[in-house]
Amino acid sequence: MRFLFWLVVLPLAVAMAFFAVNNHERTFVQFTPLPYEMQPPLYALILGAIVLGLVIGGLAAWVGQHRWRAQARTLHRRVKHLEGEIEGFRARTAPPGSAPTPGTTVAAPGAPPQRPNAR
């Protein structure tokens, strides 16, 4: 995984360095309704716009996925609640002295016995 990271990041970093060296001239930027104006290098202006777009897009995606994250949390709580109910039913219906330990599975009637995994 680390190799894949460097395989992608290193060429991008080299390309960005070449881009910055070739586009170092200053560009006049004026914010028309406001009294602000500045002269950043062209590469800073373009790379800043790309980073700003990535941040805004990431925030939009994160906000858009809120419904799915909330549903996953709700379903996780429901599963934990139902697992607790199952353990309670097992404890109440087991014959005295043969209560299964928590986390074990009970085979369905008529199912073949399961062998433990030998690794």
Under DSSP, the state recorded for 37 is E
pLDDT greater at residue 96 or residue 119? 96
Are 41 and 23 in contact by the 8 Å Cβ rule? The answer is yes
Instruction: Assign 31 a pLDDT band (cuts: 50, 70, 90).
Output: confident
**pLDDT at position 102:** 61
**pLDDT at position 1:** 82
* C-alpha dihedral sign at 17, 22, 55, 12: negative
* C-alpha dihedral sign at 89, 90, 95, 99: negative
**pLDDT at position 109:** 61
Q: Is the pLDDT of residue 115 over 80?
A: no
What is the rounded average pLDDT for all residues in the chain?
85
Instruction: Assign 116 a pLDDT band (cuts: 50, 70, 90).
Output: low
For the stretch 59-110, pLDDT in tens is: 999 999 999 999 999 999 999 999 999 999 988 887 776 655 566 665 556 6
HSE-up of 95 (CA within 13 Å, CB side)? 1
The span from the CA of 26 to the CA of 106, in Å, is 74
Where do the structural domains in the chain lie, given as residue ranges?
A: 14-64
